[in-house]
Amino acid sequence: MEAERDSTIELPIGSLTRRRFLGWLGWGSLALALGGIAQGIPFYLKPRLTYEPTTTFIVGRPSDYQVGEMRPIEAKRVLIFRTPLGFQALSMTCTHLGCSYKPFGPPTREYPVVHAVCPCHGSVFARDGRVLGGPAPKPLPFYRLSLTPDGRLQVDNAQTVPSTWYLTVEGQEIEGPTPDGSDIKFS
Ligand code: FES
């Protein structure tokens, strides 16, 4: 009983009592905690991080490609063409239901021009992206290419360009002829 009564006795700390001191400590801690929460609210409402996927990717260096080459970048579903004028990047995603079509092949009796066929439902595309046959509702898009400061080829699949757009080896954007497939060397 004596010890219990002693614990309720307020001992002076300077001019403060222990109870008042502990009270201030408690309120101070609460204020600090609330301040920390309030500081975090703007970042919660508008986080600095963005989780949107990037639209640009590297596909090597210009010197990695031979003139006349058509290189599928399967992971990114894009075809890179190295033409005598420069580079082009064409989507490999069929505009019907999104399958990957096969790379372009030489003219055939049925399609007497360079063309690519989608294995899913038979859409056929010309080298300039036009639909030659099948259910695809619209042409294939071409994507903008650029050279990074360290000289690598970069595709941006959020930016489309006309089929007459080329990126030169030096990194200049130029206008050229509509590609008809004569710029591909079939082995
Ligand atoms: S997805 Fe290519 S033709 Fe249907």
CB 175 within 8 A of CB 165: yes
**Which carries the bigger pLDDT value, residue 41 or residue 71?**
71
Q: Count of domains in the chain?
A: 2
Q: Are residues 33 and 84 in the same domain?
A: no
Which residue's CA is the nearest one to ligand 1's atom 4?
121
Q: Are residues 76 and 97 in the same domain?
A: yes
Query: CATH number, domain at 153?
Result: 2.102.10.10
Find residue 89's DSSP bridge partners. Answer: 80, 143
Distance in angstroms (rounded) separating the CA atoms of residues 167 and 83: 10
Distance in angstroms (rounded) separating the CA atoms of residues 66 and 141: 23
Q: Are residues 83 and 38 in the same domain?
A: no
CA of 106 to the centre of ligand 1 (A): 20
Distance in angstroms (rounded) separating the CA atoms of residues 117 and 74: 16
Ligand 1 proximal residues by C-beta, below 6 Å: 94, 96-99, 118, 120-123, 134-136
CA of 59 to the centre of ligand 1 (A): 26
Q: Tens of pLDDT along 3-54? A: 444 544 555 555 567 677 567 667 767 776 676 666 655 555 565 666 677 9
CA of 116 to the centre of ligand 1 (A): 12
Closest ligand 1 atom number to CA of residue 136: 3
Distance in angstroms (rounded) separating the CA atoms of residues 68 and 141: 20
Q: What is the pLDDT of residue 1?
A: 45
Q: Are residues 79 and 150 in the same domain?
A: yes
- Report field, pTM of the whole predicted structure over 0.85: no
Q: Does residue 187 sit within a domain?
A: no
Distance in angstroms (rounded) separating the CA atoms of residues 103 and 140: 13
CA of 74 to the centre of ligand 1 (A): 17
Q: Are residues 167 and 83 in the same domain?
A: yes
Q: Does residue 118 sit within a domain?
A: yes
Which residue's CA is the nearest one to ligand 1's atom 3?
121
Distance in angstroms (rounded) separating the CA atoms of residues 107 and 115: 7
Distance in angstroms (rounded) separating the CA atoms of residues 132 and 144: 24
Q: Does residue 185 sit within a domain?
A: no
Range of the domain at 82: 56-175
Residue 148 CA from chain centroid, whole number? 16
Q: Are residues 10 and 97 in the same domain?
A: no
Q: Tens of pLDDT along 139-174? A: 999 999 999 999 999 999 999 999 999 999 999 999
The DSSP-derived string for 142-177 is: EEEEEE-TTS-EEEEEEEEE-TTEEE-TTS-EEE-P
CA of 26 to the centre of ligand 1 (A): 68
